[in-house]
Amino acid sequence: MSILEQISAELQRGEEERVGELTRQAIAEGLAPQQILDQGLIGGMNVIGEQFRDHEIFLPDVLLAARAMYAGMDELRPLLIKEGIPTSGKVVIGTVQGDLHDIGKNLVGIMLRGAGFEVIDLGKDVTPDRFVTAAEESGAQVIGMSALLTTTMPVMKQVIGLLEEKGLKGKVRTVIGGAPLSEDFARQIGADAYAFDGANAIDRVKALVG
Amino acid sequence: MIGPEKNALTPHEVEIDIEVVSAPLEAIAAALGPGGIAGARSAGRWAGLVEEARRLFRRHAAPRGLLAEISTDQFAALYQGDGHNAPETPLGEIFPRAAHLALFAATIGAGVHRALDELFAGHEFPLAILLDAAASEGADRAGEAVARHYREQLEARRIEAGESPGGRDAGVRDAGVRDTVVRDAGVRDAVARGGPGTPVPLACLRYSPGYCGWNISGQRALFAALKPERIGITLRPSMLMEPLKSVSGVVVGGRPEIHRFADRYPFCADCRTHGCRERIRKVLESGSGGRA
Ligand code: B1M
């Protein structure tokens, strides 16, 4: 088994220390950071994402794999930054203004990072202006919004309105999620996509940036 | 005594023991979605993590509860809220039949959220998700502890007044009625047979704004009356309570049957869980059944 295959396999098993060690070893052996990232870390997380989507594994397995992925990323990040290696895309995410429910949003962030996206997590209680400004400043292609209360869902429409006002609608795409939301609601407010969970969010964001 | 007391709304804080709100492993595991932990490939590594999450929970949680009795008339006015409730709701039919009503709020405090933020920042996702699950479960258990406290208060009050539980057969002295419906098959049979002197069961169940047609905007009227700020819970304009792991609502006490309703309201079609069925089953069996 090549070292990249080993990284991928250990990541899938959620062995964070092994992933950290192997990533250091791969760097020391002179493998290209992009290759370690794509074939080792993201490669492993892609398998995890697919297995989760197909209900072959469950959330606990995903969480351990994600923690292992971060162990590898911690080793790799300085090199990726130094070499200016692009990510799969940039996504700004947050829980909308008035809402503090962030566990779902955090899970979505973990999954998107695992799929190789750069995620700018604005946290919770995020105003429409902060969403749009962060997307403008970072050059993100997608804004991902989460809401768990019916009373905070309208904020999503305000974000889309602000994008329109600034002439960014279409350039910056939007994906929404959260328990009370639906495909229908996404259509009504003009969001580009609705995702029902983290694995689905990866598919939706890939389609939007692809 | 029939019907909620007139001299209502004297809120008092309810002491909640940390152990009462510490969820067992199975309850925390269940929050991890279908399959829980048992179904996971990595199942063997999780028992230790759950234990660690429970330890963190005990360290950071500070459960508090608040309770205030309210009369039927007062509650009828409060329940109108901002006028956004569904035209017909289960609670709308249930509360007028109640013998006792009490507003409540409970929280496990803000400390857990600070711990959660730290865990996420440190990429300790497994522990963070488990602590979050323990905290959600803990908030619900805190609500249940307040409801249980109310029921115990009511039972004690009746024993003192020489009434049988449930209030119907006032004047019938019946010692040892604190747990009328609970687990006591003899009492349950006696209740089923009816007749004079029969202990009448008292069942307390929680109902919360945001569920079953009680619009979440009802939080405004509830907060104005109960003032949960005194136990550290504030309400945002979006109707969200801070700290997040908090619950609110009304405890409805009365004969178990008053809690029975058919899930055929228009909004039931949107409900993913129909958890009310289980709660009604439990309340008919044991006198308490969680939140609806
Ligand atoms: C950017 O792209 C994307 C893509 C996908 C995205 C995404 C973004 N964001 C999310 N997703 C998606 O992917 C994630 C991963 O799979 C998922 O994220 P979720 O966040 O949905 O999932 C989490 C991982 C797990 N899910 C959760 O944590 C929420 C589960 C439910 C059952 C729930 C829980 C557990 C709780 N609650 Co309550 N709670 C409910 C919830 C009903 C439900 N079925 O969802 C909801 C949100 N609560 C509700 C209510 C009413 C309340 N709760 C309350 C309290 C609580 C607990 C404290 C007991 C507990 C903690 C909540 C928490 N998250 O911290 C109260 C409010 C609390 C407050 N602070 O104000 C209270 C107001 C009740 C009361 N009066 O006491 C309802 C809101 C109704 C409304 N009208 O808005 C509710 C929908 C239940 C219902 N009626 O069906 C997907 O939605």
C-beta of residue A86 within 8 angstroms of C-beta of residue A174: no
Banded model confidence at residue A210, pLDDT cuts 50, 70, 90 = confident
Which residues line the pocket of ligand 1, CB cutoff 6 A? A 93, 101, 103-105, 107-108, 144-146, 148-150, 175-180, 195, 197-198, 201; B 136, 139-140, 208-211, 216, 240-241, 244-249, 272
pLDDT of B186 above 90: no
- Option in A67, A70, A99 nearest B238 (CB): A99
Whether B33 and chain A come into contact, CB under 8 Å, resolves to yes
Top-confidence range, A136-145, B179-188, B276-285: A136-145
| Average pLDDT of the residues in B131-144 | 96
| pLDDT score at B162 | 75
Please report the residues numbered 65 through 94 in chain B whose beta carbons come closer than 8 angstroms to any beta carbon of chain A. none
| Average pLDDT of the residues in A108-127 | 94
pLDDT over 70, % of chain A? 100
- For B244, name the nearest residue in chain A, comparing CA atoms only: A100
Which residues of chain A make contact with B35, given a CB cutoff of 8 A?
Answer: 58-59
Q: For residue A193, what is the DSSP state?
A: E
CA distance B126 to A184: 33
| Average pLDDT of the residues in A76-87 | 88
Domain with CATH 1.10.1240.10 in chain A: 3-83
| pLDDT score at B117 | 92
Top-confidence range, A129-138, B184-193, B283-292: A129-138
Please report the residues numbered 88 through 107 in chain A whose beta carbons come closer than 8 angstroms to any beta carbon of chain B. 97-101, 103, 106-107
CA distance B79 to B130: 35
Which residues of chain B make contact with A151, given a CB cutoff of 8 A?
Answer: 216-217, 238-240
| pLDDT score at B163 | 67
| Omega within 30 of 0 (cis) for the link into A33 | no
Lowest mean pLDDT among A62-71, A180-189, B150-159: B150-159
pLDDT over 70, % of chain B? 82
Residue B247 identity: V
Which residues of chain A make contact with B129, given a CB cutoff of 8 A?
Answer: 59, 63, 103, 107
3-state secondary structure of A198: helix
Whether A53 and chain B come into contact, CB under 8 Å, resolves to no
| pLDDT score at B156 | 87
Q: How many CB pairs under 8 A join A and B?
A: 74
Mean pLDDT, chain B, whole residue set: 84
ipTM value > 0.95: no
Q: How many CB atoms lie within 10 A of CB A74?
A: 14
Instruction: Take residue B87 and report the two structure tokens written for it.
Output: 């035209």
Query: A3-83 adopts what CATH topology?
Result: 1.10.1240
Banded model confidence at residue B283, pLDDT cuts 50, 70, 90 = confident
| pLDDT score at B171 | 27
A59/B35 touch (CB, cutoff 8 Å), yes or no:
yes
Which residues of chain B make contact with A149, given a CB cutoff of 8 A?
Answer: 210, 216, 238-240
- For B126, name the nearest residue in chain A, comparing CA atoms only: A63
- For A69, name the nearest residue in chain B, comparing CA atoms only: B123
- Beta bridge partner(s), residue A143: A92, A174
Question: Does A28 or B175 have the greater pLDDT score?
Answer: A28
Mean pLDDT, chain A, whole residue set: 95
B40/A59 touch (CB, cutoff 8 Å), yes or no:
yes
CA distance B241 to B250: 16
Banded model confidence at residue B178, pLDDT cuts 50, 70, 90 = very low
pLDDT over 90, % of chain A? 90
Domain ranges of chain B: 12-17+63-109+138-291
CA angle B163, B168, B174 (to 5 degrees): 30
Banded model confidence at residue B7, pLDDT cuts 50, 70, 90 = low
| pLDDT score at A84 | 86
Mutate which of B79, B216, B222 to test ligand 1's pocket (most atoms within 8 Å of Cβ)?
Answer: B216
- Beta bridge partner(s), residue A172: A169
Domain with CATH 3.40.50.280 in chain A: 90-209
| pLDDT score at B107 | 98
Say what the pTM is.
0.90
| pLDDT score at B288 | 63
Class in CATH terms, A90-209: alpha beta
The crossing angle, in degrees rounded to 10, of helices B125-161 and B46-60 is 60
Which residues of chain A make contact with B40, given a CB cutoff of 8 A?
Answer: 57-61
pLDDT over 90, % of chain B? 62
Segment B85-132, tens digit of pLDDT: 999 999 999 999 999 999 999 999 999 999 999 999 998 999 999 999
A110/B125 touch (CB, cutoff 8 Å), yes or no:
yes
pLDDT of B268 above 90: yes
**How distant is the Cα of A210 from the closest Cα of chain B, in angstroms?**
28
Q: Which of A98, A91, A167, A90 is nearest to A128 (CA)?
A: A98
| Average pLDDT of the residues in A12-28 | 97
C-beta of residue A122 within 8 angstroms of C-beta of residue A116: no
Segment B39-90, tens digit of pLDDT: 888 888 888 999 999 999 999 999 999 999 999 999 999 999 999 999 999 9
**How distant is the Cα of A149 from the closest Cα of chain B, in angstroms?**
8
Banded model confidence at residue A81, pLDDT cuts 50, 70, 90 = confident
